[in-house]
Amino acid sequence: MRRKILPYLWPYRYPFLFALAQVFLMSGCELLKPWPLKIVIDSVLGDSPSPWNLHELFSKQALLVAACAGLIVIYLVLGGITLLNNYTTIKIGQRMVNDLRRDLYSHLQRLSLAFHSRRQVGDLMYRVTADTYAIQSLTMNGVFPIATALALLIGMFAVMLKIDWQLTVLALSVCPVLFLSISLLSKRISLAATVARQQESEVYSVVQRGMSAMRIIQAFTKEEEEHRKFMAASNQSLDASLRLYTLQTFYSGIINVVMALGTAFVVWVGAQHVLSGSLTVGEIVIFTAYLASLYAPINTISQTWGLIQGAKVGVQRVFEILDVERDLAEGNLVFPASGARGDVWWENVSFQYVPDQPVLKNVSLHVPAGRKVAIVGPTGVGKSTLLSLLPRFYDPLEGRVTLDGTDIRDFQLKSLRTQIAMVLQPPLVFPITVRENIAYGRPEATLEEVVEAAKLARIHDSIARLPQGYDTLVGEQGATLSEGERQRITIARAILRDAPVLILDEPTSSVDAETEALIMEGLNRLTANRTTFIIAHRLSTVRNADLIIVLRSGEIVEQGTFEELVHGNGPFALLYRSQFSLEE
């Protein structure tokens, strides 16, 4: 854990050392706090000599004023240093949190879809937004309180030992009991903290799923059921949190009882020493003040240790994700500035999401550059999976995919994916302006280029009718747009990308027949001289394809042109006739 955290602390090592210096100054002020009171009791109210023989230089009245002024100065200096230390440590901690979030989010962006398909979105959100704060608790809220407490402990121990070594030994006799309590309860607190964070991340998951599916929930009147699911998760989180807080409170109570017993013994023995004349009243006052201050850092160490156990769980959850190896190894090659030609091969490719449940079985397919290929077949036969291998959303279990004769695993992911424009399902738009949505893949594109892409996608007229045209903000998940408008915006986005390879996954599934005809007209212009792959359930959209591939059970069972397949007696002809009769 230390090895993983230190790289996040190293950039702020100088502010960290500055904060440590402040800790020692604060400890010095804490050590000085009881001394003005001793001077008042022993040298002003009594006749004992004052430190540094000040009673010989000043009258009792002047000594009283000096002691009071010294007390004010000590508290002012201590307050100022404390404020500065709080600001310094909070700033370091927040920057470390920000750096850890940066690395975690960046790492999540680069993990494959296979990883994300296995994880709950809400849990990952909780790790990014909440668990990352644990590094601040573990370092700034853990290291500095303990460092302050240790500095105080050492200083007070030295002073108290000089005043009365017997009382000092008695005061410290409670330490073994305290540390035994720490060792016995810290593991239980750590386990309780783990469960509490897991349950809270489950609440995030339930909320995320509910918010993203609100239309379906309301359409099927499932509000009460979803509310019950939320309350069940929330109650489990509450129970886990209460168990954690109960343990921490019990832990704190034990510490306080042990320290109270220690204080009672020291006061009783100290009073005996005063009665016997071995200690003055001022010295016992200082000793008692130091005793409270002595137990305070011990209490701080014990309480902070409990906090560290909970924070350690959060940091471990973050590094659990950061330790996940990228299952898509980065290649070294890049495409030339002119881009790829677009010659694609699937060579004996097999793939499965779940062991022993193959989705693709030994598929081989060659698509020369510039060809338009349609992939058809029933739902779940591997159409989208086959094309997902091309931009390396996944890697094949067996075989390889090549682009322009080179295994795509040899290319840098960014270089590879810039060669491919995609229209995926479901159509996704972001809560930004229409222009920014279309230019998502080419943010440097001019307004004229965005408009031209929108015209090709047959969405320009709809955009022009919006309140601010291309500068209109789109609602969350495109709620202010129709399904067909969202789909055409994603098509315009792919058009503007202007990549040599184009993947269209059901590009006209959410539009009517008239709009489909207009879109296909624009797409025919777009796909000229580009290698294009179209996944379609509407077989009318594949009529102009150079090659049609029919998939069934993860295998290519038929291929040919539209005319060749529709006049045969194979699966495509049967599928076409059944769809045509349904449309009739």
Question: Cβ–Cβ contacts within 10 Å for residue 94, how many?
Answer: 13
Domains and CATH numbers, the chain: 2-322 (1.20.1560.10)
Q: How confident is the model at residue 110 (pLDDT cuts 50, 70, 90)?
A: confident
Segment 249-275 shows an average pLDDT of 75
- Report the C-alpha gap between 537 and 549 in whole angstroms: 12
* Residue 225 pLDDT > 80: yes
DSSP string, 381-402: SSHHHHHHTTTTSS--SEEEEE
* Residue 125 pLDDT > 90: no
Least confident of 45-54, 197-206, 469-478, 571-580: 45-54
Question: Cβ–Cβ contacts within 10 Å for residue 311, how many?
Answer: 23
327, burial (CB in 10 Å: exposed 0-12, middle 13-18, buried 19+): exposed
pTM: 0.67
- CA dist 190 to 118, 198, 505, 556, Å? 26, 12, 48, 54
* pLDDT in the model for residue 584: 41
- Which pairs count as long-range contacts for 222-231, CB under 8 Å and 24+ apart, including other chains? 230/203, 230/206
CA-CA-CA-CA torsion sign (496, 430, 386, 570): negative
User: Does residue 519 sit in helix, strand or coil?
Assistant: helix
- CB-side neighbour CA atoms (13 Å) of 318: 28
* pLDDT in the model for residue 277: 74
pLDDT in tens, 25-39: 887 887 787 777 777
pLDDT in tens, 535-584: 877 776 777 888 999 998 889 999 998 888 888 888 888 877 776 554 44
Q: How confident is the model at residue 49 (pLDDT cuts 50, 70, 90)?
A: low
215, burial (CB in 10 Å: exposed 0-12, middle 13-18, buried 19+): exposed
Contact 202, 122 (CB under 8 A): yes
3-state helix vs strand vs coil in the chain, percent to 5 = 65, 10, 25
Number of H helices, E strands in the chain: 21, 10
Least confident of 23-27, 382-386, 497-501, 531-535: 23-27
* pLDDT in the model for residue 48: 65
Segment 461-465 shows an average pLDDT of 89
3-state secondary structure 168-231: HHHHHCCHHHHHHHHHHHHHHHHHHHHHHHHHHHHHHHHHHHHHHCHHHHHHCCCHHHHHHHHH
* pLDDT in the model for residue 122: 76
Between 466 and 1, name the one with better pLDDT: 466
* pLDDT in the model for residue 579: 66
Between 111 and 411, name the one with better pLDDT: 411
* pLDDT in the model for residue 582: 42
Determine phi and psi for 444, rounding to 5 degrees.
-85, 0
**pLDDT averaged over every residue in the chain:** 81
- Report the C-alpha gap between 139 and 145 in whole angstroms: 10
User: Does residue 482 sit in helix, strand or coil?
Assistant: coil
* pLDDT in the model for residue 263: 74
Between 521 and 415, name the one with better pLDDT: 415
Cβ neighbors of 100 (< 8 A, separation 6 or more) are 8, 132, 135, 318
* pLDDT in the model for residue 583: 46
- Report the C-alpha gap between 175 and 183 in whole angstroms: 12
Between 51 and 3, name the one with better pLDDT: 3
pLDDT in tens, 436-460: 989 988 888 999 999 998 988 888 9
DSSP symbol at 42: I
CA-CA-CA-CA torsion sign (275, 280, 282, 287): negative
* Residue 343 pLDDT > 90: yes
Six-digit token string for 61: 């009245």
Helix boundaries (H) for 277-355? 281-322
Segment 315-344 shows an average pLDDT of 86
Determine phi and psi for 347, rounding to 5 degrees.
-110, 105
* Residue 258 pLDDT > 70: yes
* pLDDT in the model for residue 449: 92
Contact 50, 43 (CB under 8 A): yes
* Residue 43 pLDDT > 60: yes
Between 4 and 155, name the one with better pLDDT: 4
pLDDT in tens, 141-199: 777 777 777 777 777 777 777 777 777 777 777 777 767 776 677 677 777 877 887 88
Question: Cβ–Cβ contacts within 10 Å for residue 325, how many?
Answer: 8
CA-CA-CA-CA torsion sign (512, 517, 518, 521): positive
pLDDT in tens, 327-340: 778 889 999 888 89
User: Does residue 560 sit in helix, strand or coil?
Assistant: strand
**51-60, 215-224, 401-410, range with greatest mean pLDDT:** 401-410
Segment 391-404 shows an average pLDDT of 91
* pLDDT in the model for residue 344: 94
